[in-house]
Amino acid sequence: MKSLTIAFATAKEAIRQPAFFVLASFAGALLLVTIWVSYFTFGEDIKMYKDTGLTTISFFCMLLALLTASSTVADEIEGKTAITLLSKPINRRQFIVGKFLGIELGVLVLYVVLGALFAAGVYYKYAYDLRESAGGLAESAKQWEQVRQVMPGLVLGFFEVTLLTSISVAISTRLPMLANLVVCILIFFLGHLSPVLVEASRAQQINELIGFMAKFFAFILPSLEFFNAGPSISTGAVIPWLGYVLPAFGYCVLYSGAALLFAFLLFEDRDLA
């Protein structure tokens, strides 16, 4: 109950901060403008729109999560306001769990807004491309089929943001905002790149040292490429809910739980005075 109280207060703070409206406006503008951008794919622009749209939503929601984690955890610790909260009958673990859930709620609001805008964009762009390329009219059923195809990708993207949020909360207990942003963005890129480099090293297409480092990062960092459904969805593949999304949810829960346990350890002996 105490964690939920902290969570709701943190969510309100996340939504009211200027960064929320800036990120929402910029990401929303990108999702709208790219509907009419020509990708020169000979009538397959809808596929590129799906891929870029999913990436846009995940990246901007991740930025909101990182900024909120820094402002509501690191800044409160550095500003000595956390000690006031913890002087009440609230322990440190409830503080961390409440902050994590609050950031998740704030990010979920942005994710739902951008996801709804993206779904509407997919619905419209399918008909727009068909009208521009062949001069035909799209059937409503096929438009909704395009929307349903991207839904697993949206869910997987939110799992990725959740995982990175848990890591950011853990880092925020010890490091300030700038260091948190740098570390998490590095984890984001390395988490996507290391599996690709590992596969390339197996095919002996890269240097041995690079292959070793790729395997090292793939071992210690989350495999974020597991949540990257954009390329598959852009080819028209249907991602199964039970066969892929559900295992991804399990992976997200396990890794996020491990990150929060690490946050407990880092925050347990942190001097707040």
Write the pLDDT tens digit of every residue in 63-106.
999 999 888 877 777 655 666 666 667 788 888 899 999 999 99
Q: Which residue has the higher pLDDT, 126 or 59?
A: 59
- Whether 35 shows a pLDDT value over 90: the answer reads no
Which residue's entry shows tokens 């000979």? 42
Whole-number percent of the chain with pLDDT over 90: 43
- Whether 148 shows a pLDDT value over 70: the answer reads yes
pLDDT level of residue 118 (50, 70, 90 thresholds):
very high
Indicate the pTM of the whole model: 0.89
Token representation of residue 115: 């996801």
Token representation of residue 255: 């890794």
Q: What is the 3-state secondary structure (H, E, C) of 22-64?
A: HHHHHHHHHHHHCCCCCCCCCCCHHHHHHHHHHHHHHHHHHHH
In the chain, domain spans: 2-268
CA gap 165, 170 in Å, rounded? 9
The answer to whether the beta carbons of residues 153 and 114 sit under 8 Å apart is: no
